[in-house]
Amino acid sequence: MIISAALVFFMTPGLAFFYGGLVRRKNVVNTIMACVSIMGLAIVMWALFGYSLSFGGNHGGIIGDFRWFGLNGVSMETGPYADSIPHLVFCAFQMMFAVITPALLTGSLVGRIRFKALFFFILFWSVLVYYPMAHMVWGEGGFLASIGSVDFAGGNVVHISSGVSALVFSVILGQRRGYSQVVYRVHNIPFVVLGASMLWFGWFGFNAGSALAADGLAAHAFMTSAIASASAMLSWMLLDVIKDKKPTLVGASTGLVIGLVAITPGAGFVPVWSSFIIGALVSPICYFGMTLIKKKLKIDDSLDAFGCHGLGGIWGGIATGIFGLNSINHTARWDGLIFGDYHLFLAQIIGILVTIAVAVVGTLICIALVRLITPIRVTQKEEQIGLDITQHGENAYPSFNGLD
């Protein structure tokens, strides 16, 4: 479990490279810094009060309390959530989820948000959205768990919450200047592949580790994760070939990531054969969903945070309600829709709708709070110069003098 926690931690620098490679040269430092800074902020917050609010006590099935403030009382002995590992190890594993989740939503905001505004937004968002979601799904007495909604490794808690928040924030923030006239090219494809590979590697800790033991369920989650990711990669490559006659490396990297997103909520609930279907279908769902959002609705979700994590997570949650089996994991009270029972499917839909509502309301409140502290968007001149120089005084490629 300690190794799994380290693997999940490794996903955040992987995300930094994945996002950093996708943006323009003048914004790569800022984009990577968004993820790196969260690695510091989220860990400190988690240790002080985040873990206690997420998993300590229960108030209305929505949030915990401060009984474990500063990890007081979180010991080396087994705790209430796992009888085979120390309480501190469970806390450490969950801490890494609290790190990567807010980092996911930063992809929708690149190139135009002040770093100070983003930093405070992440602070507020963790308290108002992530900690309540973690409690409702995984905490003792959590509301969504009580109605039978299941989420093995973070479909609701991680992907839908961050994806929906990314969409809401990108709408309020507005498009990058010249968005409809300028072609935004990927500046470093090797970075994208490096980041996607780090994510895939770390995701085995993310999903298999959520079994909280080195057992058959962990092996099951490992295999469903590998298969769904591979299937999604191949189906995205096929879409590229159908549309543009050529498979792309960026497309293959995107496909493997959304395959992992889609299998996350059901990795330890669905049969292995269904992971082929879940992965193969998520690519067209996200591919055409992104097209609708970006071209038809004119929403500038810069790096498709909602298109990948929001849509992929929603499909994954629905698929868990379709293919889930009680015989694989007794946490699921019922079998899925395809096996003749609608109860799990209905609980999954309710869970998804509640997650969307929490993310939308929480994001709007967080943005209002940030506006009391600092302007959210950079000036037109700062945007033209690039956020690397204007927000951090650094240049990723000081020898590059060409047009950007």
**pLDDT tens digit string along 182-216?**
777 889 999 999 999 999 999 999 999 999 999 99
Determine the average pLDDT of the residues in 158-164: 97
**What gap in Å lies between CA 387 and CA 374, rounded to an integer?**
16
Q: What is the DSSP letter of 106?
A: G
Q: With contact defined as beta carbons under 8 Å apart, do 87 and 148 qualify?
A: no
> What pLDDT, on a 0 to 100 scale, did the predictor assign at position 102?
98
pLDDT(118) > 70: yes
Burial of 349 (0-12, 13-18, 19+ CB in 10 A): middle
Residue 403: inside a domain: no
Q: What is the pLDDT of residue 297?
A: 81
Mean pLDDT, residues 36-56 taken together: 98
Q: What is the pLDDT of residue 404?
A: 56
Q: What is the pLDDT of residues 278-335, one digit of tens each?
A: 999 999 999 999 888 877 888 888 899 999 999 999 999 999 999 999 999 999 999 9
Provide mean pLDDT across the span 152-170: 96
Residues 234-244, mean pLDDT to the nearest whole number: 97
Let me know if residue 58 belongs to a domain. Answer: yes
- Measured in whole angstroms, the distance separating CA 114 from the mean position of its chain's CA atoms is 21
Where residue 93 sits, what CATH number does that domain have? 1.10.3430.10
**pLDDT at residue 6 in the model:** 98
Query: What value does the mean pLDDT take over residues 132-157?
Result: 97
Domain-embedded: residue 272:
yes
What is the pLDDT at residue 400? Answer: 65
SS3 247: coil
Report the percentage of the chain scoring pLDDT > 70: 99
Q: Flag whether 399 is in a domain.
A: no
This prediction's pTM: 0.95
Per-residue pLDDT at 292: 85
Q: Which domain, by its residues, includes 181? A: 2-392
- What is the domain count for the chain? 1
212 close to 1: Cβ distance less than 8 angstroms:
yes
pLDDT at residue 294, as a whole number: 79
**What pLDDT, on the 0 to 100 scale, is given for residue 399?**
73
Q: What is the average pLDDT across 348-373?
A: 98
**Does some domain include residue 271?**
yes
Q: Are 347 and 149 in contact (CB under 8 A)?
A: yes
Q: Quick one: pLDDT at residue 178?
A: 78
Distances (CA, A) of 1 to 79, 209, 307: 14, 6, 31
User: Would the pLDDT of 402 be above 80?
Assistant: no
- Euclidean distance between CA atoms 304 and 199, whole angstroms: 16
Q: The tokens of 45 are what?
A: 């917050």
Answer yes or no: are the C-beta atoms of 118 and 125 closer than 8 Å.
no
The CA-atom distances, in angstroms, between 332 and each of 56, 313, 320, 356 are 23, 18, 10, 22
Helix and strand counts by DSSP (H, E) for the chain: 17, 2
Is pLDDT of 403 > 70? no
